[in-house]
Amino acid sequence: MDLQIALKSAQRACQEARKIQLAHFGGLLRVSDKGIEGLVSEADVKSEEAIRKVLLEAFPEIPVYGEEEVFLGKDSQLQETSWVVDPLDGTTNFAAGIPYWAIS
């Protein structure tokens, strides 16, 4: 894997997720409770889908494991080289309109 291409792909994936998150921030959100794991919103799921799309376009051979995918029951074992994504780290803040969250 070319790390420069990986970095540029990760940055592009984050930019796509950011657009989705900013479009949802401060509005009415559909939020589900994951129990002890916290909350999941529509912005979480859509952000993860966008990140996955960008990363798989650049590196189709490298699996992408996302927090929300695992929550939805699509858990699987990590491979030696993998992308591990938390598309909206800080969903509680995000849902409450507090502008402190990250894409991890």
Q: Say if pTM beats, i.e. exceeds, 0.75.
A: yes
Each of the 104 residues of the chain gets a pLDDT tens digit; together they read: 899 999 999 999 999 999 999 999 987 667 666 665 566 788 999 999 999 999 999 999 999 988 866 644 555 666 788 999 999 999 889 988 999 999 99
Whether residue 47 contacts residue 87, with contact meaning beta carbons closer than 8 Å, is answered with yes
Rounded distance between C-alpha atoms, residue 89 and residue 98, angstroms: 13
pLDDT at 71: 46
pLDDT at 103: 97
Q: Looking at residue 44, which CATH number applies to its domain?
A: 3.30.540.10
Residue 67 belongs to a domain: yes
β-pair partners for 41 = 31
Domain of residue 50 covers: 3-95
pLDDT at 40: 74
CA torsion angle for 32, 72, 25, 90 (degrees, to 10)? 90
Residue 100 belongs to a domain: no
pLDDT at 95: 87
Number of domains in the chain: 1
Rounded distance between C-alpha atoms, residue 59 and residue 82, angstroms: 10
Q: Are β-strands 64-66 and 39-41 bridged in parallel, bridged antiparallel, or unpaired?
A: unpaired
